[in-house]
Chain A
Amino acid sequence: GENVEQHPSTLSVQEGDSAVIKCTYSDSASNYFPWYKQELGKRPQLIIDIRSNVGEKKDQRIAVTLNKTAKHFSLHITETQPEDSAVYFCAASNGGNNRLAFGKGNQVVVIP
């Protein structure tokens, strides 16, 4: 089955700087890659996703890039703010069955 690895496990950034989280996946059949943000005590929230027919997608301060050849995708957060502090999970699925395999998560801490 799909194996998703996520690096680094913890990331501390100064407010206003950029944060980048990288994930790798193993199954070349995976074609859907969402990112979730989970604040303490809350449910995971879908923040952005990308499909395998696209190399990059942006939504305001967040962007995701996908390298199908290398089987990795990354989340980019620009102009970080304290409210960006959370755990971020990447995931992958074969869109045909929607079964998501999650990475272990990254704790992002934005220092004011």
Chain B
Amino acid sequence: SAVISQKPSRDICQRGTSLTIQCQVDSQVTMMFWYRQQPGQSLTLIATANQGSEATYESGFVIDKFPISRPNLTFSTLTVSNMSPEDSSIYLCSVVGRVDEQFFGPGTRLTVL
């Protein structure tokens, strides 16, 4: 399976600021996603990161709050904008490998004070 890395692994931020999370894959992948996992909760899909076009957002998530870039088939960024304590979560990218199998990055643990 692909090797997926994320930066930063964790961060503590002040409310009102923004944080950009990077996801790097060691091979080209067509499908890449961003998920959020709030403390003690399940995973919720934020958006599909589309290469060369705007991301496709799930209900409840908007581009102004979570802008996403996907400049090529190995890299994507998710920005969490104008943060509040409610944004404290683990943010994970995922990629689809062989025949629908989806693999997750190590996650970025975000704490907003």
Contacts and interface: CB of A to CB of B under 8 A. Distances in A.
Nearest to B105: A43
Interface residues of B, number: 20
A55 interface: no
A65 interface: no
A100 to B, nearest CB: 6
Contact of A44 (B33, B59, B96, B104): B104
A32 B100 contact: yes
A45 B43 CA distance: 13
A43 B33 contact: no
Contact of B33 (A1, A49, A98): A98
Contact of A49 (B31, B48, B58, B100): B100
Given A34-B101, A98-B33, A43 B92 contact: yes
A98 B105 contact: no
Given A98-B33, A99-B33, A99-B48, A105 B42 contact: yes
Contact of A101 (B45, B48, B103, B105): B45
Interface string A97-112: 1111111110000000
Nearest to B109: A41
Interface of A: 1, 32, 34, 42-46, 49, 51, 89, 93, 95, 97-105
The 4 closest A-B pairs by CB, nearest first: A43-B104, A102-B42, A102-B43, A32-B100
